[in-house]
Structure 1
Amino acid sequence: MIDENENVNRNAAVPYDEDNYTHNIRKDNERKLDRRSFLKTMAGAAGVFAISTLPWGAIAAKHLVNGDKRAYPKNKITALTDIGVGEAVEFAYPGEHDSALLVRLSEGTFKAYQNACTHLKCPVFWSKDQRELVCPCHHGLFDVHTGKPTAGPPKRPLPEIQLTVESGTVYATGVKRYET
């Protein structure tokens, strides 16, 4: 028969040779990364991130100080005979993946804008009935004559594309710089 005192002593014994009560942690590996080392690592990572953004900041500052003097290509959009008054044509400008919209307001008046909403880059469409540029994602409306928002969450105007008409054809020649 087992003595009660012997049973209690067996249950009170530490099952491992270690003298701590957290048996899943080995003392020699317990503190490889303490608080101070962690904070040093985070400060170093933040410093590397800050330094890595300097070239982009320098490029942006150069464009702000000197003005945007990028050369844009002259791209054919459409022939005058292919777009009626009050109609719109989609085209890609300045790059092949940059969508834009040309609207013929009257016989000799054209307006073109990049058709990505300035709120969250949803596509902007021409509404012939409302005579406005419409962003259906958040009910944003833009004035077709100025590109400025008239309703909805957008706060900035649409980037305007510069146009020329030569020999019965409409060409895109540049993008106007955004001004506040």
Structure 2
Amino acid sequence: MDTAARPAFRNATAADVPALVALIESAYRGDDSRAGWTTEADILEGQRTDPEGVLAVIEGADSKLLAVESGGELVACCQLEHRGSHAYFGMFAVRPTLQGAGLGKVIIAEAERFAREEWGVAEMHMTVISAREDLIAWYIRRGYARTGEMTPFPYGNERFGLPTRDGLQFELLTKKLG
């Protein structure tokens, strides 16, 4: 991908589900994910998402899944969900071989712009596995703040992966938009 070129954003459709699942899995799980820096392969095995979960985001009344393309190829995606006074940002994946080149910054800025301008929300929320200090530091550099508000990882629910260690939890990060 030419990182100088602006990627194209579009709403994902049901036809995109197989490619989106493959992208998300490659960014977070298994050996392919180790080509990038956002891998969860050292703390979680199994799946990151499934076709049903991706389709639910695409078809949700208050959500969208942005597909990000460059040169006609799917290179990234992110979920946005309108939750009243704030938006939720999730399911963020960048092709592992493109990570670290600035694409993530462009995508999160577009997601924030959309949430602020189209939904009129004043804040973006996301949850990150608290053990992912490198990823949390990346979000802090983008203006997000740690809240200390934790939610337990759904141990025993293989739909979210198979933890390889105890003590995993999600931390809420927030950012004022405006």
Structure 2 length-normalised TM: 0.23
Higher relative contact order (Cα pairs below 8 Å, separated by 6+ residues): 2
> Which of the pair is proportionally richer in strand?
2
In our comparison, the structure showing a higher alpha carbon Rg is 1
